[in-house]
C-alpha cells in the first residue's frame, strides 16, 4: 500500500500555519494533519475550523482534521465548510452513533474517519470499517505531541488490518498517530498502518524534506 506521511502542525509554530502548510507541500508531505482539541475531550485547546479555513488557501494538500472534541456532530459542518478533506471523529465521543457520524461527514462530501484511543479495544472500530474512508489508531494518549509510542498499538494495527482484509476492504487507509519515529516507523507500517502522522519527528528535525522521505522509505 502507498505510505502517506501526515505531519501534525500541532508541533509547529502556531503563528505560521499558512507558511508551514506551504513548506510541507514543498517538502513532500502527503497530508497536513490538524489536531483540533476542545479542552473537554482532552485537556488542551488548540484551534478550530477558522484556523483550518485560514490554512486552506495555502496548500493543495488534503487537510486531515482530527477532532479531539466532545459532540463532534456540532462541528462537522463547520470543518467541511472550512475546507477539510478528511474529518476524523473519536469512537469515545460518538459512542453508538459513530457510523451515523461517518455517514454525515461523507454526505458533506468529506472523507470520514473513526479514531480509537489507546485504552479502547480495536473491535470498537469494526462497525466503522464498513463505511469509513480511513481508520485511525492513537498510539499515544491524545492531547499532546512528543509522547512515547505505546508498543501495544502494533497489535491493534495488525488486528485492524486483518479485519479489513477479511471484510474485503484491503485498501482501506489505516492511520497511526503518536510517537512515530524514524526508528519505529518500519514496524508500524509492517503492522498494517499506511498513513503516518508525525509531529515531533518532522518538526524537530533539521531537514524536514529528508525526514519525510525517510519516514516514507
- Interface ranges with ligand DX5 (CB under 6 A): 8, 10-11, 33, 35, 66, 140, 142-147, 177-180, 197-201
Question: One of 38, 133, 173, 177 is an active-site residue; which one?
Answer: 177
Give the range of 15-23, 51-59, 63-71, 186-194 binding Zn ion by CB under 5 A: 63-71
User: Please, is 5 exposed, middle or buried when counting C-beta atoms within 10 Å of its C-beta (0-12, 13-18, 19+)?
Assistant: buried
Interaction pattern, residues 21-40, with Zn ion; x per rule: CB under 5 A: --------------x-----
- In the complex, least distance from residue 200 CB atom to ligand DX5, rounded to whole angstroms: 3
64 lies in the site for Zn ion, by CB under 5 A: no
Q: Which residue is listed with cell 457520524?
A: 101
| Cα–Cα dist 46/199, whole Å | 14
In terms of Cα–Cα distance, which of 213, 166, 174, 172 is closest to 195? 174
Please indicate whether residue 177 is annotated as part of the active site.
yes
| Cα–Cα dist 4/101, whole Å | 25
Please indicate whether residue 173 is annotated as part of the active site.
no
In terms of Cα–Cα distance, which of 117, 48, 134, 114 is closest to 84? 48
Q: Given the complex with ligand DX5, which of 81 and 182 has the nearer CB atom?
A: 182
The residues assigned a catalytic role are 35, 177
Amino acid at each position: 500500500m502507498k505510505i502517506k506521511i501526515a505531519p501534525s502542525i500541532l508541533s509547529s509554530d502556531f503563528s505560521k500555519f499558512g507558511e508551514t502548510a506551504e513548506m510541507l507541500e514543498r517538502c513532500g508531505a502527503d497530508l497536513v494533519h490538524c489536531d483540533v482539541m476542545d479542552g473537554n475531550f482532552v485537556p488542551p485547546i488548540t484551534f478550530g475550523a477558522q484556523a483550518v479555513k485560514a490554512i486552506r488557501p495555502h496548500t493543495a494538500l488534503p487537510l486531515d482534521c482530527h477532532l479531539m472534541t466532545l459532540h463532534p456532530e456540532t462541528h462537522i459542518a463547520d470543518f467541511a465548510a472550512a475546507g477539510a478533506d478528511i474529518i476524523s471523529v473519536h469512537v469515545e465521543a460518538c459512542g453508538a452513533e459513530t457510523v451515523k457520524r461517518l455517514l454525515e461527514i461523507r454526505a458533506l462530501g468529506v472523507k470520514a474517519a473513526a479514531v480509537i484511543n489507546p485504552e479502547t479495544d480495536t473491535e470498537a472500530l469494526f462497525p466503522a470499517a464498513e463505511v469509513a474512508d480511513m481508520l485511525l489508531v492513537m498510539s499515544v494518549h491524545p492531547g499532546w505531541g512528543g509522547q512515547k509510542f505505546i508498543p501495544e498499538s502494533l497489535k491493534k494495527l495488525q488486528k485492524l488490518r486483518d479485519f479489513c482484509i477479511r471484510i474485503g476492504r484491503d485498501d482501506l487507509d489505516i492511520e497511526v498517530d503518536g510517537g512515530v519515529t524514524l526508528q519505529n516507523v518500519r514496524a508500524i507500517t509492517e503492522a498494517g498502518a499506511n498513513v503516518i502522522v508525525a509531529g515531533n519527528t518532522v518538526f524537530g528535525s533539521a531537514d524536514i524534506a529528508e525526514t519525510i522521505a525517510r519516514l516514507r522509505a
